Amino acid sequence: MTLSNFTIRQKLIGLVLILALGIVTTSCLAFYFSYQDTRSGKQEQIRSIVQSATSQIILLNQRKRSLEISAEEFDTRLHDLIYSTAYGQHGYLYLLKNETQIYLHPKRSDLEGQYIGQLDSPVDSTLMLDGLKQLKEKTDKSHSWLVYWPKPNSQVPVAKLIYAQHIPDTDFILGTGVYIDDLLPLYIKRALSYLIITLTVLLASIAVALLISRNIVRPIINLSSQMEKLSEGDTDQTVRFTNHRDEIGQMARTLERFREYLIENKRLRYAQEHVQFLENFDPVTRLYNRRAMGESLEREIIRNSETQGQIYFLFIRLDLLRNLTIELGDEQRDQILIETANRLKGILSINHRLARLSEGCFGLMLINKPEETKVDDLIETILQAIECPIKLQNLHIQIVARIGVTSYPEDGDQQFELIGRSEIAAKTARKQEQSWLYFSQIKGQQVETKMELWQDLSTAIDEDQLYLVFQPLFDLNNNAALSAETLLRWNHPDLGPISPAVFVPLAEQSGLISRLDDWVLDAVAKQCRKWLNTDLVFPKIAINLSGISFLRSNFENKLHNIFKQYNVPLQHIELELTEGVLIEDLARIQDKLHRVRETGASISIDDFGTGYSSLSRIKNLPIDHIKIDKSFIDDLDVDTQDLKIVQAIILMAQGLQLKVVAEGVETELQLSILREAKCDIVQGYLLSRPLSVSDFEALIDEDLIIEGD
């Protein structure tokens, strides 16, 4: 069996086991040699002690022989030397005479004078005698050997390493020994140290080895699996480990490039197929799209042009689908469309052709309609099928549809005429609250766009389709948010967002402006009450007000009553009047402004400089701010004439103790120029766009300020 038959993981595990075995073997050998070194060291220690004592005894013997000391003094000093020498836990010296007679023994003085072979001891003294015999035969007259001998004050024999040396020119043998079990604590301590070190190194080595193994094996297994999936055409997976700098990273990057080639090839293939599909089909419902339906309808018109065969086209419009999309999301909307398409296909015959024309609109062409088939009955069946509740998760959604019907050749002989006019019929049916209408029923009616929008605006005011946004104004003295201008927005349920530049003039022309102003005042008061209830400290709120509403005789009472209803002090409010209000009788305007100011609200003049008045005209009016019209700010950084006008307005207004607001600031340069011109307050997209209620609250919480120069 060769190594190639094993997996990479198995090979790495084998290497880890060999590494562990090597570490354990090395540790065992190290402990064994340490044990031997310890024993040799102890042997060398007792040998050194014996030799040192032997030297002293030789010196004493020489002094005795030279008569420097007497024999009695020699014996005394010899006795003191032997008895005073001790080392270790049980280490001592003993002195033998005439080879086997115990002459001095500090631990067992009762044995002195006895012969070793005649001792009454629990051990056999043979080993001791054999050792002494070998000592006699040694040329250096020293020898070490192992005997079993009891420790002092004990009768239990234990292993003892003996070292003895014959003292020259005497019949003395000096000996000592070390008990082997005295070395046991040292051996155990050392063994534990070796064990701990071995385990630490072993575990660390295994951990590192496993980490390296994981770093190698897991990427290889993953890349191998990904290669197999790519070979099967699965390109959705993400190639990992491309950030590795080793060979694995190189493999991963190569695999990633291969995957990208496959994705690109698949994308090009799918794109080609998708383009071909989208040319004629709707991607959600898989029905014909408007283009394909138009072409099909055009072909049928040509085919029936000679026979004058009748063709009916039904424009099916789902009401409030846009609202459902906002509420539920695109995915749920698509489920509604798919379910509706399936229901329609289930009730149509082979001569009916169905298409999705736009977001919530279907088209149905009736080809070669049999005479006995009644269009009205078919329409009723379609409406009933659509209006059956659609189950979406835990919701049951009921859709209402409107249908407009056109026919060839009565309502047109072009496909766009039949489709467009059927759409007009469907929209008219909705406005007239009918389920369906034939275009022939509304021919000649003049549907005025402005009239429709006016009606929708009136409905929007009644049904609270309007909402407020807030654009902050910043004080250039401390760069903090000083106030916020309230702006009105309208999101038409069918047409989407309608610009205030469209519906505000329409409201003024149609007599709805007062209702619109009342709605804004009520909405602002309600919002301020919510902020006060949550203890949110908000800046002053500015409200754009039409001159028509402001000049009405009961305006002050209406303003007071609306804010009193929500218990909101008018000190929180600033009313913005356009400069056009000032063309009225000055005395009347002045009196009106005084009465409004007495309610607690402050007043500013908006769009100042557009030509209706001058600073001299407003110098005696009780107003707080003037707002320089945006048209002067737009070219402030390039038009010197606009710059001079702005500088003059600021200078004169401040001389009249009026604060100046520059609106429409959109560049850093404009802001810098206004700061140099000592403008008081700025407003514009550079600093903040109009904010929703939640975003404006977040800005207040953050104490947002503009950056100073």
DSSP three-state, residue 689: coil
Q: Are 460 and 492 in contact (CB under 8 A)?
A: yes
Which residues does 403 contact at the CB level (< 8 Å), separation at least 6? 314, 315, 316, 317, 379, 382, 383, 426, 429, 435, 436, 437
Helix (H) / strand (E) containing 431: helix 415-431
Angstrom distance (rounded) from CA 150 to CA 152: 6
Angstrom distance (rounded) from CA 605 to CA 47: 116
Confidence at residue 448, expressed as pLDDT on a 0 to 100 scale: 47
Closest-CA residue to 703 (of 482, 517, 548): 482
Q: Could you give the count of Cα atoms lying within 13 Å of 253 in the half-sphere of its Cβ?
A: 9
Angstrom distance (rounded) from CA 175 to CA 169: 17
Eight-class DSSP state of 3? G
CATH class of 8-187: alpha beta
The dihedral of CA 472, 473, 475, 476: what is its sign?
A: positive
Residue ranges of E strands in 311-441? 311-318, 352-358, 361-366, 390-392, 395-397, 401-408, 436-438
What is the rounded radius of gyration, in angstroms, for the C-alpha atoms of the chain?
A: 55
Q: Tell me how far CA of residue 663 lies from CA of 18, 344, 471, 472, 547, in angstroms.
A: 80, 55, 11, 11, 20
DSSP three-state, residue 158: strand
Tokens of 238: 């993400």
Confidence at residue 573, expressed as pLDDT on a 0 to 100 scale: 93
DSSP three-state, residue 658: coil
CATH number of 456-702: 3.20.20.450
Tokens of 305: 């042009």
Domain ranges of the chain: 8-187, 235-278, 286-447, 456-702
Closest-CA residue to 549 (of 518, 510, 503, 591): 518
Q: Are 134 and 179 in contact (CB under 8 A)?
A: no
Angstrom distance (rounded) from CA 282 to CA 62: 127
Angstrom distance (rounded) from CA 164 to CA 166: 7
Q: Tell me how far CA of residue 452 lies from CA of 258, 388, 427, 456, 509, in angstroms.
A: 59, 30, 11, 6, 14
Helix (H) / strand (E) containing 144: strand 142-150
First and final C-alpha spacing in the chain: 80
Eight-class DSSP state of 106? S
Q: Could you give the count of Cα atoms lying within 13 Å of 602 in the half-sphere of its Cβ?
A: 15
Tokens 């269009």, located at residue: 375
Task: Report pTM.
Answer: 0.41
Low-confidence stretches of the chain (pLDDT beneath 50): 370, 446-448, 612
Angstrom distance (rounded) from CA 695 to CA 471: 10
What residue type is assigned to position 528 of the chain?
Answer: C
Angstrom distance (rounded) from CA 52 to CA 450: 128
Count the helix, strand and coil residues of the chain and give each as a percent rounded to the nearest 5.
Answer: 55, 20, 25
Tokens of 394: 């835990």
Q: Tell me how far CA of residue 361 lies from CA of 128, 401, 418, 439, 523, in angstroms.
A: 119, 9, 15, 17, 35
**Crossing angle between the packed helical segments 71-84 and 8-65, to the nearest 10 degrees:** 160
Helix (H) / strand (E) containing 594: helix 586-597
CATH number of 286-447: 3.30.70.270
Task: Write phi, then psi, for 69 (nearest 5 degrees).
Answer: -130, 155
Helix (H) / strand (E) containing 544: strand 540-545
Angstrom distance (rounded) from CA 120 to CA 102: 13
